[in-house]
Structure 1
Amino acid sequence: MKIGFGCDHTAIELKRILMEHLQNRGFECVDYGASDPNVRVNYPEFGLKVAEAIKSNEVEKGVLICGTGVGISLAANKVPGIRAAVCSEPYTAKLTVEHNDANIIAMGARVVGSELAKMIVDSFFDAKFEGGRHADRVRMISDIEEKYRR
């Protein structure tokens, strides 16, 4: 699986650790930035880059990291078809795929340490969408998105 990574200046080291961890597990990782921890950047641009990479099929899923994971996920979720979920522990990361068919996991570099972050991404990428009644709910979310698309 090919995974897109994006982060702001607060999360560059955690992004590097997670990319290395997932590459060691056999995933292909694409870095969409940021790259310099000394240069302040705006997280929405990196959330958008990864979301657009998923939309264009450059990558299959994404990992986004900012201070809390919230802002960068909000930006990504503005792209139709993107389902980015902030997760701070493995159980939610697993269920967000199994029940919500999330295609991006987001987390906060100021919230989780590197070992917990590894467990979170492992749970996310090991999970499979269950379909069934969950597919109906994901379709309902897509319908809401379509209703408000300009």
Structure 2
Amino acid sequence: MRSYSKLKHYILSAFREIFIYHHNSLFFRAKLFALLIVVDDEEYADYYINLRSAALKIYEDPDRAELLVLTTKELVQKVKKSNELNADKLIESIVQELKDIPRYAKKIDKEILTSLLEVTHNEEVKVYQERIVEFLDNLKTEIYAKYNLSD
């Protein structure tokens, strides 16, 4: 049964745009989490445990939460394997998406993003991650002000 569930998630992940409701929104959230994970060169397994907990807080549906985890893993792997995608490109992509779709600013949740940092062992990396979260939170505030959005 467990292998069926994994297979189902990988198929949905591969055909995300076709089968998943609001796949762009999920992908945006995955970028936020991937950004925090890729700046640390340590083992990512602990991050994914915290990410799974965060995803279940965001989505009550365990399948959708697992898709967020899988999508984040895909992005992290892509960054680690590719010279074309890195943390700076992820930031650029996030900023551009917020300009194109300002309502995505509501998806930046400082508390949930910060919960991911509990597993960071390197203090320098943790400070960097905290600054990224602050940057994202400030960006959210700017978008809210510019487009008169509210929670």
Q: Which has the higher contact order (CA 8 A, sep 6+)?
A: 2
Which has more radius of gyration? 2
Task: From the two aligned structures, give the one with the greater strand fraction.
Answer: 1
| Shorter-chain TM-score above 0.5 | no
**Shorter-chain-normalised TM-score: which range?**
0.3 to 0.5
**TM-score, normalising length: structure 2:** 0.33
